Amino acid sequence: MTSRRGIHRLYAEDPTMADRQLWGRKVDPVSRRGFLRGSGLAAMSAAVGASIPFAKFMPGGLIPAALAQSDEPFALPGKSGLTVLNDRPVNAETPAHLLDDRVTPAARLFVRNNGIPPAQPAQPDRWTFELTGESCVEAKSLTLAELKANFEHHTLQLQIECGGNGRSEFYPPTPGTQWTTGAIGCPEWTGVRLRDVLEYCGIKDDAVYVAYEGADLHLSGDTAKRPISRGVPLHKALEDESMIVWAMNGEPLPLLHGYPLRMLCAGWPASVSGKWLTRIMIRDRVHDGEKMLGQSYRVPCKPVAPGTSVADEDMCIIESMPVKSLITYPKSGVSHAAGAPLDIRGHAWAGDQSVAEIFTSIDFGATWQVAKIEKAANRLAWQHWSASVDFPEPGYYEVWARAVDSNGNSQPVILPGWNPRGYLNNACHRIAVGVTA
Ligand SMILES: Nc1nc2c(c(=O)[nH]1)N[C@H]1C(S)=C(S)[C@@H](COP(=O)(O)O)O[C@H]1N2
Ligand SMILES: [Mo]
């Protein structure tokens, strides 16, 4: 976790940008004025642990003393217990035992930013996004208020997982954020179907891909560059579960997660789910935006030996994420008295598929026992599983969990195929259990 030097360094480098990244506060760099409002104020209040009656007098670029003088490791606003992996851009993941909730609370959802989030918009209802692209019959623009008023609302629980989740285990190491297991979550989202909005502008026969652009800024500060602009093939965009959302768990989206509007195509690398949505494009070709080309979000079309460098033309775009599971209870390292069974549980998910079976092992994978898997709340939501495990005698054990999807694909026990950017690690999760006499 970032030490408390993290917040000082962030402010020392660029206080205006720090204010914007942490609280969504837009500060005039000359006058240092700029007030906290809405979810920015809520975020700072959550970080200091109380409402701030005189917030309107608080100067821009001021680190709240509660954070500056605290010995606690610096935590992201509105987040609880996450491990901060980078602070520019902000990336933070959730320890497995804090993902135990069936519906992931906002405070426990990982954060993956490629650039610098936009400032908190003063009038979110006037937030406008464009519908455009070569294969859009008639380009349109829509405000958030119009989107809410003119399209049918849907609420679905949908899982998002970063394509690089698990990257830290690959050897040789691969570049990028060194996620362990925590870049996954499954909140409940409210919004409209992407399909309904695409049909509103009209989809030409030659449409191939649907892509997004967001309002975040490239890390260089260059407004001509985009941090990321990705998308999905038309068939994925037209699915019932592909959405444009404004709420998470019944609340407006937190700023870090795309407030006020984001695209959401669950089951694929979460990089296809654009935050701070400003544009949706219906393309007549495979989208060629930032992080679609080269080696980003691509894996070798054919397996390669670890450490191999692969030419761009031999890399294929990642589509559905593979089957995977987590043990969210108990926490790894738990101590358990011999004699009674230990109840364990977690979640499992499988990209576009569902999870058919899940097994646990206490003997390093020599034998596997069937665990109980529940149905998903809806398609593309993770599924809950549980098991009761017996240990033959006191000692050190590991509990391993292994899920199998509806096509019969299993999680690998060790690592899946190495790839140059370290994507798609769906190896079995394991926890340590000390069984005492
Ligand atoms: N505009 C924009 N959208 C974005 C990103 C971004 O940096 N900018 N990051 C993407 C990536 S790589 C991931 S994994 C998810 C993370 O979503 P979260 O931060 O809400 O968990 O958002 C995706 N959408
Ligand atoms: Mo990601």
Q: Sketch out the chain's domains with CATH numbers.
A: 7-74 (no CATH), 124-317 (3.90.420.10), 324-436 (2.60.40.650)
Whether 129 has a pLDDT exceeding 80, the answer reads: yes
Nearest CA to ligand 1 atom 23: 271
**pLDDT for res 30:** 63
How far apart, in whole angstroms, are the C-alpha atoms of residue 179 and residue 167? Answer: 6
More confident residue, 271 or 3: 271
Provide mean pLDDT across the span 119-148: 95
Q: What is the DSSP letter of 59?
A: P
Provide mean pLDDT across the span 99-118: 95
**pLDDT for res 16:** 73
**pLDDT for res 28:** 67
Whether 269 has a pLDDT exceeding 60, the answer reads: yes
More confident residue, 59 or 152: 152
Ligand 1 centroid to Cα of residue 197, in Å, is 21
**pLDDT for res 6:** 63
Provide mean pLDDT across the span 306-312: 97
Q: What is the DSSP string of 159-224?
A: -EE-TTTTGGG-SS--SS----S-SEE--EEEEEEHHHHHHHH-B-TT--EEEEEESPBPTT--TT
Q: Is the CB of 26 under 6 A from ligand 1?
A: no
Provide mean pLDDT across the span 215-235: 94
Ligand nearest to the CA of 421: 2
Task: Tell the residue number behind the tokens 């609340």, with chain if given.
Answer: 251
The percent of residues in the chain predicted with pLDDT above 90, rounded, is 76
Whether 194 has a pLDDT exceeding 70, the answer reads: yes
Whether 119 has a pLDDT exceeding 80, the answer reads: yes
**pLDDT for res 157:** 98
Q: Is the CB of 274 under 6 A from ligand 1?
A: yes
More confident residue, 183 or 56: 183
**pLDDT for res 3:** 40
CA distance to 41, 90, 128, 167, 403, per residue, from 49 (Å): 12, 21, 33, 34, 39
Report pLDDT digits (tens) over 60-100.
777 777 676 654 445 677 888 888 887 778 889 999 999 99
Identify which of 76-85, 120-129, 201-210 has the greatest average pLDDT.
201-210
Identify which of 11-20, 23-32, 298-307 has the greatest average pLDDT.
298-307
Shortest-distance atom of ligand 1 to CA 257? 20
Ligand 2 centroid to Cα of residue 248, in Å, is 19
Provide mean pLDDT across the span 400-404: 98
Whether 318 has a pLDDT exceeding 90, the answer reads: yes
**pLDDT for res 1:** 33
**pLDDT for res 377:** 98
Q: What is the DSSP string of 14-54?
A: -HHHHHHHHH-----TTT------HHHHHHHHHHHTS--TT
Whether 309 has a pLDDT exceeding 90, the answer reads: yes
Average pLDDT of every residue of the chain? 91
The percent of residues in the chain predicted with pLDDT above 70, rounded, is 92
Specify the pairing of strand 209-214 against strand 231-233: antiparallel
Least confident interval from 44-58, 128-142, 357-371, 381-395 = 44-58
Ligand nearest to the CA of 111: 1
Where residue 422 falls (left for φ over 0; alpha for ψ -120 to 50; beta otherwise) is left
**pLDDT for res 414:** 87
Provide mean pLDDT across the span 126-154: 97
Provide mean pLDDT across the span 285-291: 97
- Give the other-Cβ count within 10 Å of 374's Cβ: 14
Do the beta carbons of residue 322 and residue 421 sit within 8 Å?
Answer: no
Do the beta carbons of residue 92 and residue 79 sit within 8 Å?
Answer: yes
Nearest CA to ligand 1 atom 20: 257
How far apart, in whole angstroms, are the C-alpha atoms of residue 437 and residue 429? Answer: 26
Angle ∠(408,414,415) on CA atoms, nearest 5: 85
CA distance to 12, 22, 84, per residue, from 89 (Å): 16, 11, 11
Question: How many residues belong to the chain?
Answer: 437
How far apart, in whole angstroms, are the C-alpha atoms of residue 333 and residue 397? Answer: 10
**pLDDT for res 22:** 77
Nearest CA to ligand 1 atom 5: 113
Q: Is the CB of 261 under 6 A from ligand 1?
A: no
**pLDDT for res 55:** 79
Whether 150 has a pLDDT exceeding 60, the answer reads: yes
